[in-house]
């Protein structure tokens, strides 16, 4: 089910998805013209309209934030800044990111490995959809090439996070305490990370 609303003189589609096992209601601004609501079967289209009205201010802020981060076709993000593709003569952006991350990340990894006295057995780089980094049971680390889009402190946080997994293969209190020693503002960085794109 869906309906349309007007936000800042622009038509926005609101899609309601009713699911069986959902206890709460979840609303996400997907694009500047699309909102997605997931809720249980008892949540009606009228409830959705009421929720949208109640959260109008939040929706406007979220859309404004999204619009600010929309990248034009001739642009790309490099360490948190917009750059022009033609200035770098890029034909394949993924390949460019892979080459660039291999120039920048190893030195940062070495620096934090020494500080933390934790050393990976291998390093690899991939374009992942869901993870920014990972640590396998053999202590091999993998990093997402798309980290090149974000400010350098985000990359540093992911490095600290994955190195900490060499010692703690979970997200226990001890794990987060170790992360906090080398990245005290990790919660703030995680927030920036999620809001960046």
Q: Are residues 97 and 64 in the same domain?
A: no
Q: Please identify, among 68, 91, 126, the residue that sits at the C-terminal boundary of a domain.
A: 68
Cβ(133)–Cβ(88) under 8 Å?
no
Cα–Cα distance, 80 to 63 (Å, whole number):
20
Do residue 36 and residue 56 come from a single domain? yes
Give the structural domain span for 161.
Answer: 75-196
Total domains, the chain: 2
Residue for token pair 């005290």: 184
- For 190-195, the CB contacts below 8 A with 24+ separation are 190/157, 192/151, 192/154, 193/132, 193/150, 193/154, 193/157, 195/65
Task: Give the C-alpha separation, 22 to 33, whole Å.
Answer: 25
Q: 97 with 172, same domain?
A: yes
Same structural domain, 132 and 113: yes
Q: pLDDT by residue for the chain (197 residues), tens digit each?
A: 899 988 878 899 999 999 888 888 999 988 888 999 999 988 999 999 999 999 999 998 888 877 666 677 788 889 988 888 888 889 999 999 999 999 999 999 999 999 999 999 999 999 988 889 999 999 999 999 999 999 999 999 999 999 999 999 999 999 999 999 999 999 998 877 765 54
Which of 13, 43, 68 is the C-terminal boundary of a domain? 68
Q: Is residue 7 located within the same domain as residue 28? A: yes
Q: At what angle do helices 152-167 and 173-182 cross, to 10 degrees?
A: 140
d(CA 39, CA 166): 39
- The pTM score is 0.68
Phi, psi of 6 (to 5 degrees): -110, 125
**Co-location of 128 and 82 in the same domain:** yes
- The answer on 61 and 37 residing in a single domain is yes
Q: State whether 64 and 80 are in the same domain.
A: no
Of the three residues 68, 85, 118, the one that is the final residue of a domain is 68
């Amino acid at each position: 089910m869906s309906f349309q609303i007007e936000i800042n003189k622009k038509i926005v589609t609101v899609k309601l998805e009713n699911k069986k096992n959902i206890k709460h209601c979840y609303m996400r601004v997907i694009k500047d013209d699309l909102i997605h609501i997931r809720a249980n079967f008892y949540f009606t289209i009228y409830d959705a309209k009421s929720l949208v009205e109640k959260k109008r201010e939040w929706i406007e802020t979220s859309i404004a934030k999204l619009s600010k981060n929309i990248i034009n076709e001739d642009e790309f993000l490099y360490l948190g800044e917009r750059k022009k593709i033609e200035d770098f003569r890029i034909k394949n952006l993924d390949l460019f990111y892979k080459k660039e991350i291999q120039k920048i990340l190893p030195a940062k990894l070495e620096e934090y490995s020494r500080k933390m006295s934790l050393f990976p057995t291998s390093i690899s780089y991939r374009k992942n959809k869901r993870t920014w980094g990972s640590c396998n049971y053999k202590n091999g680390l993998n990093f997402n090439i798309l980290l090149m889009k974000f400010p350098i402190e985000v990359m540093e946080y992911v490095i600290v996070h994955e190195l900490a997994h060499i010692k703690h293969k979970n997200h226990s209190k001890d794990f987060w305490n170790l992360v906090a020693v080398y990245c005290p503002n990790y919660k703030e960085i995680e927030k920036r990370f999620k809001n960046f794109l």
